[in-house]
Amino acid sequence: ARARLLLEHYENRHPASIDRQQKTLAIIGEVADVDIQRDILSLLLPKQVVRPQDWRCVVESCTHNRSLGLGVVWEWLTTWWKQIQERFRSSGAMGIGSKLLVLVCENMSTEEDLARVLKFLRANPDP
């Protein structure tokens, strides 16, 4: 319930300062609920509520929750990859998508994870 309140709080822009917004994003990924994790990531895409410069904070927060968040972030990243690349390509910040990919991959540790990443990179050769 607390994570849902934080999510609604952020989405409705109640944290008035940038500092408070970033602190909210930094802890929000700790929640142990797949649906809330997905809702958190939806603030990046498709909703575009979170400022692009804060995307890293959200992805990092969620991926540190390895038992739950890592899989959810991987699902989100691979689903929205083309839109992520397009969004940042047009703004001149082409490396952001790759940085998000690195954040996710550096938290992976299994052979299955490696296989998924290699398959993704073969299908998307220009991250």
Domain range for 83 is 2-123
d(CA 83, CA 64): 24
Q: Is residue 6 pLDDT above 80, yes or no?
A: no
For residues 76-93, give the mean pLDDT. 82
CATH number, residue 87: 1.25.50.20
Domain tally, the chain: 1
Residues 41-51: tens digit of each pLDDT: 998 898 888 88
- Amino acid, single-letter form, for residue 29: G
Instruction: Scan for tokens 């958190």, then name that residue.
Output: 40
For residue 18, CA distances in Å to 15, 50, 57, 88, 123 come to 8, 11, 13, 21, 37
The whole-number pLDDT of residue 26 equals: 76
Residues 58-70: tens digit of each pLDDT: 899 889 888 888 9
Under DSSP, is residue 39 helix (H, G, I), strand (E, B) or coil? helix
Structure-model confidence comparison of residues 27 and 127, the more confident one: 27
Estimate to the nearest angstrom the gap between the alpha carbon of 6 and the chain centroid. Answer: 16
